[in-house]
């Protein structure tokens, strides 16, 4: 992206300059209007014509002064628009095939595949059912979108399903990209997010399948639900340390993403954030979040390395479901709960140490971890639910700590080879199930749980 204008270096100064320079013009214009309106005579038509002329002259002067301000406020650090881009923008405005309004102070122009938006402030919000964009009939032929300096937001669904859009230029005045703004722009190949943007909305770039690299700039604080979901060719994402919130499924289905680092600034991370990122091999979470949410890394089949902070207290349901290449995993000492199916079908996981902070292992937590051969349980573990270690056929021995006081049936289902040791006594899986059914008779200090959850 190359900004089309360069006068925004110091917005406060610019606004003050504009006000000071335009004030005399406004005063003259007001006096002229008053004079014209104070004498209602038969020459009223000529006076109306004069008012129109004054309006045109004032508008022309405003544009001239604005251009002067833009030139005077430019700096060496500001990226200059090329002659070609300026020519394209001006040509589109001057000889547009069609145009209209898209905000209180925003206008749009279209010609030969190029859509230009100029003016100031917020764009209108749209939806995909009741309130269509004014260029909806053109969305199949738009290939280039240029948004000029002054626009501050992109409305919801603004360029939804513009499948042939390949080039996008956003200004340094942009602060927010609305929900589903570029959803389905599958031929968009490059995205440069201005450093002024703070919010990227829900589904903003979902299904932008041709994006290959993404830098979340230092101004962005929030990445919305599914913002970059199913960007299939995205291989690299850099998240700045200004980001505090990553919402549900933000990068789900980015199947060619290979590595991710979550910065320390992130305080909230939703569910399924990297669900289905099949080529993700390394994930490092530096932030101090407390929960790895449901399905955060589900179906990340090439994930081999995960680094978690020591603030994590809960590993959520199916958090690492079907991570079939994960053969080592260190559970932080801060974790107290391991959720339902958390490591379900992690088939190459060979050993796991559950720290003493863990008191609860939910159903199917390590189900079908068929190469799991070594498990060290927490000395403070209290509750284990059905299938927690079901179908772990290479697990031949496990020691239940004395702290365990409640279990459901079939914790070790599908494993006839396992020896369960509890308070110095060894049981086969079948013997243990029998003992658990009549724990008072067999002297087990473990209550059989029947929990409908």
Residues 6+ apart with CB under 8 A from 445: 402, 405, 423, 439
Domain boundary among 49, 72, 95: 72
pLDDT in tens, 100-139: 999 999 999 999 999 999 999 999 999 877 789 999 999 9
Provide the pLDDT for residue 76. Answer: 37
Residues 6+ apart with CB under 8 A from 19: none
- The verdict on residue 313 lying in a domain is no
Provide the pLDDT for residue 201. Answer: 97
- The verdict on residue 154 lying in a domain is no
Residues of the chain with pLDDT under 50: 1-48, 50-52, 54-55, 57-58, 61-62, 64-66, 68-80
- Counting every residue written for the chain, the total comes to 453
Helix (H, G, I), strand (E, B) or coil at 28: helix
Q: Give residue 448's region: left, alpha or beta (phi > 0; psi -120 to 50).
A: beta
Q: N- to C-terminal Cα distance for the chain?
A: 51
d(CA 7, CA 449): 69
d(CA 390, CA 87): 67
Strand order in the sheet with 425-428: 397-400, 419-422, 425-428
Provide the pLDDT for residue 87. Answer: 74
CB atoms within 10 A of CB 330: 11
Structure token digits, residue 303: 């994930």
- The verdict on residue 413 lying in a domain is yes
d(CA 169, CA 86): 12
Comparing CA positions, the residue from 282, 329, 274, 264 lying closest to residue 299 is 274
Provide the pLDDT for residue 1. Answer: 39
The pTM of the whole model exceeds 0.85 = no
- The verdict on residue 214 lying in a domain is no
Give the distance, in angstroms, between the CA of residue 135 and the centroid of all CA atoms in the same chain. 26
Helix ranges (H only) for 73-157 are 83-94
CATH number of the domain encompassing residue 399: 3.80.10.10
| H or E element that contains 434 | helix 429-437
Count structural domains, the chain.
Answer: 2
DSSP 278: T
Cβ atoms 182, 204 nearer than 8 A: yes
Domain boundary among 24, 46, 72: 72
DSSP 137: G
Comparing CA positions, the residue from 253, 240, 353 lying closest to residue 300 is 253
Domain boundary among 30, 54, 72: 72
Q: Which domain, by its residues, includes 31? A: 11-72
Provide the pLDDT for residue 129. Answer: 72
- The verdict on residue 337 lying in a domain is yes
- The verdict on residue 374 lying in a domain is yes
């Amino acid at each position: 992206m190359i900004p089309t204008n360069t006068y925004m270096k110091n917005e406060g100064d610019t606004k003050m300059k504009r006000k000071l320079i335009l004030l005399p013009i406004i005063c003259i214009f007001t006096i002229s209007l008053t004079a014209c309106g104070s004498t209602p005579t038969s020459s009223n038509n000529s006076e109306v014509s004069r008012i129109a002329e004054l309006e045109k002259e004032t508008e022309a002067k405003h544009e001239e002064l604005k251009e002067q301000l833009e030139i005077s406020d430019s700096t060496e650090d500001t990226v200059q628009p090329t002659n070609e881009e300026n020519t394209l923008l001006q040509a589109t405005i001057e000889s547009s095939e069609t145009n209209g309004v898209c905000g209180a102070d925003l206008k749009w122009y279209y010609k030969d595949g190029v859509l230009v938006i100029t003016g100031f402030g917020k764009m209108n919000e749209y939806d995909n059912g009741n309130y269509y964009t004014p260029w909806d009939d053109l969305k199949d032929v738009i290939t280039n979108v240029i948004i000029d300096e002054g626009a501050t937001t992109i409305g919801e669904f603004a360029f939804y399903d513009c499948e042939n859009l390949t080039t996008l230029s956003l200004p340094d005045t942009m602060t927010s990209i609305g929900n589903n703004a570029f959803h389905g722009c599958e031929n968009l190949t490059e995205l440069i997010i201005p450093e002024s943007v703070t919010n990227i909305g829900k589904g903003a770039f979902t299904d932008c399948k041709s994006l290959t690299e993404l830098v979340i700039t230092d101004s962005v604080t929030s990445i919305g639900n599914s913002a970059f979901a199913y960007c299939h060719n995205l291989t690299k994402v850099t998240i700045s340390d200004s980001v505090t919130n990553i919402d549900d499924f933000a990068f789900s289905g980015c199947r060619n993403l290979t590595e991710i680092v979550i910065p320390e600034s992130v305080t909230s991370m939703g569910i399924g954030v990297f669900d289905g990122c099949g080529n993700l091999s390394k994930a490092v979470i530096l932030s101090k979040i407390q929960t790895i949410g449901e399905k955060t890394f589900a179906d990340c089949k090439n994930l081999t390395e995960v680094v978690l902070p020591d603030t994590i207290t809960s590993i959520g349901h199916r958090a690492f479901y079907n991570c079939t290449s994960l053969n080592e995993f260190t559970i932080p000492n801060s974790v107290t709960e391991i959720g339902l199916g958390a490591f379900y079908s992690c088939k190459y996981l060979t050993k796991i140490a559950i720290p003493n902070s863990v008191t609860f292992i939910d159903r199917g937590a390590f189900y079908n971890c068929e190469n799991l051969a070594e498990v060290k349980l927490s000395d403070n573990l209290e509750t284990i639910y059905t299938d927690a270690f079901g179908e772990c056929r290479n697990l031949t021995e496990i020691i239940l700590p004395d702290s365990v006081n409640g279990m459901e049936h079939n914790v070790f289902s599908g494993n006839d080879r396992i020896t369960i040791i509890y308070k110095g006594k060894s049981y086969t899986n079948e013997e243990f199930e029998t003992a658990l059914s009549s724990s008072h008779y067999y002297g087990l200090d473990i209550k059989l749980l029947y929990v409908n959850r």
